[in-house]
């Protein structure tokens, strides 16, 4: 597997973004065959069908990515802004922060992440707005066990 160097010239086909944030390498691509001493033929996807599939060694870089770390597109859910969506699992804890003359209630939320579970502290306003069902479950659980909830 190799990565293909993308030329920054204006004449060449642009790949996704342009300018400072344009990628320097795209891929990874599978090597099909060696052509002579200094060129390789690559297996390119359908979106790059207009590009010749033989490249010099200077335009290629060895891809050291582990195949087991790749995430399939079917496993990833994206919102309308093309951001990765993490699903909340449960509210684990609650605490009150004292900031000068203000008291802010925060909740520890466990999120289902593609690499395991992750916990973050979120404000009560965020929890009430975005996670009302989890907040209702948390309130019901703490009312049955009032000693577990600190004010």
Return the C-alpha torsion angle 121, 125, 130, 135, nearest 10: 70
pLDDT in tens, 89-146: 888 899 998 988 999 999 998 887 656 668 889 898 988 888 888 888 888 777 766 5
Residues 6+ apart with CB under 8 A from 84: 76, 77, 78
HSE (side-chain half, CA atoms, 13 Å) at 123: 5
Rounded distance between C-alpha atoms, residue 137 and residue 128, angstroms: 12
Q: What is the pTM of this model?
A: 0.45
Sequence spans of domains, the chain = 2-66, 87-144
pLDDT tier, 42 (very low <50, low <70, confident <90, very high otherwise): very high
């Amino acid at each position: 597997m190799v990565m293909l160097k993308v030329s920054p010239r204006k004449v060449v086909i642009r790949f996704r973004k342009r300018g400072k944030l344009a990628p320097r390498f795209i891929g990874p691509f599978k090597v099909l065959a060696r052509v002579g001493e200094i060129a390789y033929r690559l297996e390119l996807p359908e979106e790059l069908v207009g590009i010749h599939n033989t490249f010099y060694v200077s335009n290629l870089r060895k891809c050291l990515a582990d195949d087991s770390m790749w995430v399939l597109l079917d496993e990833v859910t994206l919102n309308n802004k093309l951001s990765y969506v993490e699903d909340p699992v449960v509210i684990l804890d609650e605490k009150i922060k004292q900031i000068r003359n203000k008291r802010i209630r925060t909740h520890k939320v466990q999120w289902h992440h593609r690499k395991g579970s992750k916990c973050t502290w979120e404000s009560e306003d965020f929890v009430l707005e975005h996670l009302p069902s989890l907040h209702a479950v948390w309130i019901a659980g703490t009312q049955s066990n009032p000693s577990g909830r600190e004010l």
